[in-house]
Amino acid sequence: MDKKANILNHTGNETSKQGAKAPRYEKIAIDIAYSILNDEWQVGDLIKGRSTLSGKYSVSPETIRRALKLLEDLSVVNVIEKKGILIKSKSAAEAFIKEHHSKDRILSLREDISHMIEEKRLIEDAVLSRMDSLIEQALIMKHVGIIHPLEFKIPETSHLVGKSIGDVRFWLHTGATIIGINRTGQLLLSPGPKLVFFTGDVVYYVGNAAENIERVEKYMSKKVDEN
């Protein structure tokens, strides 16, 4: 495969993967730059009028004007009013193509990272969902001798009423971990640190050491005026 054919094939691949990201006028500018790089148009050639390009690419004159303005700003061509488009620099055309592909690679990497972040979010959501299912199953199976979550009911006089899980630092004071709260028949699984305790809440927790039970009961029963 010769150099020209190889470049054209490479361009086609790039267009299929990246082209949708670029506006129409930019794609036309890239195509013109490739035509110059492949010597289809040579330095010093004068293309007669924008209408020629407008017909070739089947776009409006305004789209061609924007494409040529982009190339003119990069010193690839020189638009001469009432005469045509002068091909000015092959090296500038090549530099424009390289810059375009670099930008496309950056955009592609950005898109890949965005997809990876979304996949990570979906995985985290799936993990949390399975964790909730595990906790719910643990609560269901508490009476069949497999897993034994413990529980306590918050009395009206408890210092926990009106405070969040994060405020009271439950684990720090008791060594136990809250896995759910039953509030008037509604089961709240994996409650976060911002959840506030209400009077009558049934709190489910787990802890390995026997002393956890005593510590939890003592801490839960502490009255407001004992703080």
164 and 85 belong to one structural domain:
no
Distances (CA, A) of 63 to 26, 47, 124, 131, 170: 9, 17, 45, 55, 66
Of residues 216 and 108, the one with the higher pLDDT is: 216
Coil, strand or helix at 159: coil
Of residues 47 and 43, the one with the higher pLDDT is: 43
Average pLDDT over residues 151-170: 89
Q: How confident is the model at residue 152, as a pLDDT?
A: 85
Whether residue 146 is predicted with pLDDT greater than 80 in this model: the reply is no
Query: Which residue range(s) make up the domain with 222?
Result: 150-226
Q: Which of 43, 74, 107 is the last residue of a domain?
A: 107
Q: How confident is the model at residue 21 (pLDDT cuts 50, 70, 90)?
A: low
This prediction's pTM: 0.39
103 and 172 belong to one structural domain:
no
Average pLDDT over residues 41-70: 85
Q: Is residue 134 part of a domain?
A: no
Whether residue 2 is predicted with pLDDT greater than 60 in this model: the reply is no
Q: How far apart are CA 101 and CA 99, in angstroms?
A: 5
7 and 101 belong to one structural domain:
yes
Q: How confident is the model at residue 215 (pLDDT cuts 50, 70, 90)?
A: confident
Q: How confident is the model at residue 210 (pLDDT cuts 50, 70, 90)?
A: low
Q: What is the mean pLDDT of the chain?
A: 78
Q: Which of 73, 107, 141 is the last residue of a domain?
A: 107
62 and 154 belong to one structural domain:
no
Q: How confident is the model at residue 208, as a pLDDT?
A: 63
Whether residue 68 is predicted with pLDDT greater than 50 in this model: the reply is yes
Q: Is residue 120 part of a domain?
A: no
Q: Is residue 66 part of a domain?
A: yes
Number of structural domains (the chain) is 2
Q: Is residue 142 part of a domain?
A: no
Whether residue 5 is predicted with pLDDT greater than 50 in this model: the reply is no
Q: How confident is the model at residue 9, as a pLDDT?
A: 41
- CATH of residue 158's domain is 3.30.70.1450
24 and 100 belong to one structural domain:
yes
Q: Which of 107, 141, 165 is the last residue of a domain?
A: 107
Distances (CA, A) of 175 to 27, 142, 158, 163: 64, 20, 19, 18
- Other CB atoms within a 10 A radius of the CB of residue 57 amount to 17
Of residues 151 and 144, the one with the higher pLDDT is: 151
Q: How far apart are CA 37 and CA 56, in angstroms?
A: 18
40 and 99 belong to one structural domain:
yes
8 and 101 belong to one structural domain:
yes
157 and 91 belong to one structural domain:
no
Coil, strand or helix at 189: strand
